[in-house]
Structure 1
């Protein structure tokens, strides 16, 4: 019985592991093989070995973790303690360093193995989420689609935060679904803790909590929701509260998440018409912070060319988030024959998810998923745009896609069965 039910899932897991192992062994991609794609200053500082980090930010995360273990303080791209980024990824890498030292292996390879487990684990989580929200068949389709999706196979080999943060987000989402369906205090508490840890990796997910809040109030009423809210708050108090205390003690400042300002400023370049270096020089000459200068640019842009700037912060950035499978620019010169395949696969996922929203809008689950994705997109569009940030929400988009596909497959199957019966 269990083999019949979970046999297809076991097969999907096996396929996912095989694909990950192939990418782990062959290690394709420019970021993993060509040091010249990194800035000269970074190559000069760290040498050609920077390719093992798998990305510009991966180098900074890795060096921050190494510094944390050796020097005892957290500083991102700095020799001094700071809160430039939230601590999730550096702490995750620091733990990997400590464990790998015990076994005498390279921590970067150790991290890749852990990331592989998290990436395959995300496939499993999506199966269970799809099964609980919709049905067993939808869960299987969700797991299979994500297992065959390209970006996870690229990012699990890097020190970037995508793989662990997506796993944590899906894990928190699973506990959220269980908490709402079964209303057990332990599920609510665990959800709050894991979601808070996810925020420590990706602060932009924080606004997504508004959809669960609305669902809980609608389903349980205000009085019960107040109790649930207290259970959810245990996580932020323990996790985010610890970070706030650290910042108060070490930096003598109240910093809730991070002090990073460049992403907002870097997001004020509609369709990249302006020269970034020229505008950045204006920022330096102004004496303003990146946030202050970015706000002035945004206000001035809305006043002088509102159509351009409004379209950029809505449709424009959204298109850039999902314009191609994230990470593929690392491969399209060497593996151009696969570009059409991976692009088509990516856009078909988006297409069927949009179909689900438009054709099945009356279903509450579809509405909740759609609004959660929309909130994430709106929050992301405030800052610099990158396909990496679009990739983060692809698990939820895959759920929508899988549900519409499962309905289509069932309709076609029923039609064929009825046609055969008539014959």
Structure 2
């Protein structure tokens, strides 16, 4: 009896279990980054980001892949890295530690969101998923946007719940600022802004929050937009390099490569040419392009986990990760439609983001954040379904009635 009371006292402390999950997440990431990983921290895009931040520190020039100023990438991640390296030495290990801590800290907003819409037990399970899922550990050892973006993504939904449950000026400012930072880190989150505005507009008690919400978003975007207008003489709200991902994902099942010679002869940008290829494809090969922009891209995004090599993880651990991956996908097939019917904000936000992402190149890297959102949706759907069933009246036949 005393052991049961001790267990109840242990789990009654709301942040104790998430804190233990945070420690577990830090430990797993430390082992991966400094012991088992053979991943190059500055491979591919990561190296270009690192060079960009170095250039920003030494020459105060914001330019991705160039020694001249440009707006090829949004400023959320580069300026965050710049702020870190303005304080600490400019070495890869510094940011490895930053990623370890941010990646592990994602446990807290995940727990906060899930426990606010269901029960703490489901919040712990979602936090455990964050701690152990291989791609979330793998991305820690890359100088890319993913670790920061996933933290901001989950922080947005946690702060959205707080704002809707306890509306105040500060909750509105926090949520709108987090959303703005997340969009400026990964523009694929832009549809959530539109969905958030619609939810605030059509939810009568929250309608008064809409104006301060939009003002906060405007203030957050203003410095970036003004910088592009004044320095580059162009109106760029997000990034000028998004056409690359659009064009690369325009050809069904990667059977063709972009025809840059034709693009240059037509005097088109990558975005314009990508739109041209897509519209022409739907006109001439409708079924092929329809299958590519639906099931085809979904298959490429979610067919496997985002890890460069399974050899960086113990074999049994990878088997567990694969099981988690496909189980999450399977359960989401039920959870997402169910919560859409229930008019759940997260379900609409997830769907909007996913449909927007289908316009661009499909890779497992871009699918990783959606896996975490699926976990949140599964927890929310399971609790909603259980509550709805438990509230149904249990009619019993009177004694002596025929059955």
Question: Which of the five TM-score ranges fits, normalised by the shorter chain?
Answer: 0.7 to 0.9
Task: Check the 8 A contact 2:32/2:312 in 1, yes or no.
Answer: no
| 2:185 corresponding residue in structure 1 | 201
Equivalences for 1:7-406 in 2 at 5 Å? 7-29=16-38, 32=39, 51-53=40-42, 55-101=43-89, 106-220=90-204, 225=207, 227-260=208-241, 261-274=243-256, 276=257, 279-326=259-306, 328-331=307-310, 339-358=318-337, 362-364=341-343, 367-403=344-380
What is the Cα deviation at residue 286 of structure 1? Answer: 4.2
What is the Cα deviation at residue 310 of structure 1? Answer: 1.2
What is the Cα deviation at residue 339 of structure 1? Answer: 4.7
Task: Check the 8 A contact 1:175/1:187 in 2, yes or no.
Answer: yes
| 2:13 corresponding residue in structure 1 | 5
Query: How many angstroms apart in 1 are the aligned matches of 2:148 and 2:31?
Result: 20
Query: How many angstroms apart in 1 are the aligned matches of 2:337 and 2:59?
Result: 54
Structure 1 runs not aligned, ≥5 long? 33-50, 411-423
Q: TM-score, normalised by structure 1?
A: 0.82
Q: Judging changes above 3 Å, is the alpha-carbon distance between structure 1 residues 62 and 333 closer, same or farther for their aligned structure 2 residues?
A: closer
Query: How many angstroms apart in 2 are the aligned matches of 1:121 and 1:381?
Result: 29
What is the Cα deviation at residue 10 of structure 1? Answer: 3.0
Task: Check the 8 A contact 2:200/2:210 in 1, yes or no.
Answer: no
More helix as a share of residues: 1
Query: How many angstroms apart in 2 are the aligned matches of 1:2 and 1:244?
Result: 50
What is the Cα deviation at residue 360 of structure 1? Answer: 5.9
Q: Judging changes above 3 Å, is the alpha-carbon distance between structure 1 residues 187 and 300 closer, same or farther for their aligned structure 2 residues?
A: same
Q: Judging changes above 3 Å, is the alpha-carbon distance between structure 1 residues 344 and 273 closer, same or farther for their aligned structure 2 residues?
A: same
Aligned length: 378
Q: Judging changes above 3 Å, is the alpha-carbon distance between structure 1 residues 59 and 340 closer, same or farther for their aligned structure 2 residues?
A: same
Helix, strand or coil at the partner of 2:87: helix
Query: How many angstroms apart in 2 are the aligned matches of 1:409 and 1:26?
Result: 43
Task: Check the 8 A contact 2:74/2:238 in 1, yes or no.
Answer: yes
Query: How many angstroms apart in 1 are the aligned matches of 2:318 and 2:262?
Result: 39
Task: Check the 8 A contact 1:270/1:308 in 2, yes or no.
Answer: yes
Task: Check the 8 A contact 1:119/1:167 in 2, yes or no.
Answer: yes
Q: Judging changes above 3 Å, is the alpha-carbon distance between structure 1 residues 292 and 337 closer, same or farther for their aligned structure 2 residues?
A: same
Helix, strand or coil at the partner of 1:99: coil
Task: Check the 8 A contact 1:352/1:404 in 2, yes or no.
Answer: no
Query: How many angstroms apart in 2 are the aligned matches of 1:81 and 1:294?
Result: 25
Q: Which has the larger displacement, 89-98 or 338-347?
A: 338-347
Task: Check the 8 A contact 1:267/1:385 in 2, yes or no.
Answer: yes
Structure 2 runs not aligned, ≥5 long? 1-8, 388-403
Query: How many angstroms apart in 2 are the aligned matches of 1:198 and 1:334?
Result: 30
Query: How many angstroms apart in 2 are the aligned matches of 1:87 and 1:358?
Result: 34
Task: Check the 8 A contact 2:61/2:67 in 1, yes or no.
Answer: no
Query: How many angstroms apart in 1 are the aligned matches of 2:181 and 2:83?
Result: 15
What is the Cα deviation at residue 215 of structure 1? Answer: 2.8
Query: How many angstroms apart in 2 are the aligned matches of 1:27 and 1:92?
Result: 27
